Chains A and B, each alone.
Chain A
Amino acid sequence: MTVESKASDSSVVIRASQVWKSYDEGTISVLNGVDLEAYKGEAIALCGPSGCGKSTLLHLIGGLDEPTRGTITVNGKTLGRNRDMVQFMRHEVGFVFQLHNLVPDLTMEENCLLPAVAAGTPRGAALDRLKELAVRTGLGHRLKHRIQKLSGGERQRTAICRALMNRPGILLADEPTGSLDEKTSGAVFDLLLDLAHTEHVTLLMATHDRALAAACDRVLEMHDGRIRTDR
């Protein structure tokens, strides 16, 4: 599906308007006026060299940080102090990082249930959702295994399950295949794309892998804190 066709029949889920981000009282400038619109169900790849601001942009959209200037609107509401960011992070957005960021001493099942525990989802409903995701990610047999017993690909698939537990509308993936070998990387990316489409999730993924990026609906090229091209 093309961006144009989506734009005609879908609402804007994410809108970033002139977003700037700097650190150390403006001496380090990371984002320099980013404008972005993402539509429901789109898969967008953010490409660009290291340090161009991809991760920072994802953090701002996910509510982990605040822009120095500009506004980010998600589902029609501006992120910031006037919004319940805990509820936002529980129900509207899911994160997948380069390093899986799982709790090592818990099992795969327990790790995946963390967002449900935070949100107070009834255990039965949470377990049903987990089983559904575990089957789709091929981890049904690994539920009771501790994270240390899982391979790199399984850990990243676990992180994807966890990110989708509370059925968020947006999935933010920061180099999700960056620590995996080529074969595993392809499998995890296909899974991510497939889940995003079937769950009608807007996927925003930072990646260095041009081949994987090409499979997304849109590719945004970032350079020096700006989006240079959108194709």
Chain B
Amino acid sequence: MIFLRLILVNLLRHKIRTLISIAGIAFSVAAMLTVVTVLEGAVGMFSNILSSGSELIVFERNVSDLFFSDVSPAARDQIAAWPMVSHADPVLFGVVSSADHPIITCFGVTAEDARIRNASWVSGDAGQFGKGGNSVVLGERAAEFLETSTGKDVPIGHGTFHVMGVIRTRNGFEDGGVFMPLEAAQKFFHKEGSSVITIKLRNKEDAAAFKAEVHARFPNLIALEDAEFSRSYSQFKILKATAWAVGGAGLALGGLGVANTMIMSVFTRIREIAILRVNGFAKGQIAATIFGESAIVAVTGALCGLALGGAALYALKEVPALHGYVDVTIHPALMLVVVLLALLTGLAGALYPAAYAMRIKPVEALRFE
């Protein structure tokens, strides 16, 4: 109890300095939480696009980005005919532009695609998809920012397309996207095949056999289960690594703040540390008070940072331009990792001050009367 009091007394003795350190950790934790959650959410949304109504995805081996993948119609037809396959839906990904909106995700899909079949139709008729020549379906948010609606024409690229329907989806990429019939998309992007084929098996247990079959018959293609794809896709890896690097850099800055506080804390009470040593405190016990102070600052900062980060995510979710793109689901595991990282950073920041405190010689410190 007195040990804890010693720690708290030191923190409360310099309240402003302690608060600044807590704020440093809090802001870095909030930054890490926000960046990681937003990017994980974006990755999750993109994964959901691919796994919509499917368990596996087939695409061209060794492509750096799915936009560059090209799976031939022949391959798709052969795979769709395998007895273990229930559905094999080709999806062509592309980026289109419209006035004032240079980047809009475009999905070239067939009428049988799960996105079209299972969508919540705000207007238009799912049965008419792909039957009207140059017609497209818009996500609800895309219709909003393109200021158009069902029955109107919309300029896309160098052409004009008829809006045959508007669908609502919780996925930000889809809600802000354009759905073209596959043939129209192939013509628009000058491609014969599709970017990927999403696969639904009759029996999930056949996943390994399916992958082996693809590997044997189509050496230029690769089949991955959805979770496997999310883990291994290089773009996702880069995004996740960037998020953790940015967050980690923020946390390192917070750690430097803690180190500065702890160094000042030790320097201003050299005599007090000497008194504790004279009263029988071992070097380890002195170090424990320093690490204890640092741990309290770090954990308090981390908890404040979680609250701050959570609030920032909810605020981002309400920004109209980001509607549907920000998934504010904060995973408990992420919270735990962030708090532990903050704690480790705080403890690392206390290493030098603790070592310095342990080296204080009571007889020399007490001479400063």
Contacts and interface: CB of A to CB of B under 8 A. Distances in A.
Contacts of A89: 277-280
A103 B278 contact: no
B5 A64 contact: no
Residue of B276, B282, B361 with highest tally of chain A CB at under 10 A = B282
Contacts of A105: 9, 12-13
A64 B278 contact: yes
Contacts of A118: 276, 279-282, 285
A59 B13 CA distance: 30
Contact of A64 (B2, B9, B281, B362): B362
How many chain A residues sit at the interface, stated as a range, is: 20 to 34
Contacts of B272: 103
Interface in B1-27: 1-3, 5-6, 9, 12-13
Nearest to A91: B280
Given A86-B282, A95-B278, A98-B369, A117 B9 contact: no
A118 B275 CA distance: 12
Contacts of A110: 2, 5
B6 A103 contact: yes
A114 B6 CA distance: 10
Contacts of A103: 6, 9, 272, 275-276
Interface residues of B, number: 24
B2 A117 contact: yes
Nearest to A100: B275
Contacts of A62: 278
Nearest to B8: A105
A162 B12 CA distance: 24
A101 B272 CA distance: 8
Interface string A32-45: 00000000000000
Contact of A115 (B3, B280, B361, B363): B280
B264 interface: no
Given A105-B9, A114-B280, A123-B1, 19 more contacts: A64-B278, A64-B363, A65-B363, A86-B280, A89-B277, A89-B279, A101-B275, A102-B275, A103-B6, A103-B9, A103-B272, A103-B276, A105-B12, A105-B13, A106-B2, A114-B279, A118-B276, A118-B282, A118-B285
Interface of A: 59, 62, 64-65, 86, 89-91, 95, 97-99, 101-103, 105-106, 110, 113-115, 117-119, 123, 162, 166
11 contacts: A64-B362, A64-B363, A89-B277, A103-B9, A105-B12, A114-B276, A114-B281, A115-B279, A117-B2, A118-B276, A118-B281
Which 4 residue pairs spanning A and B have beta carbons closest together? A90-B280, A118-B280, A64-B363, A105-B9
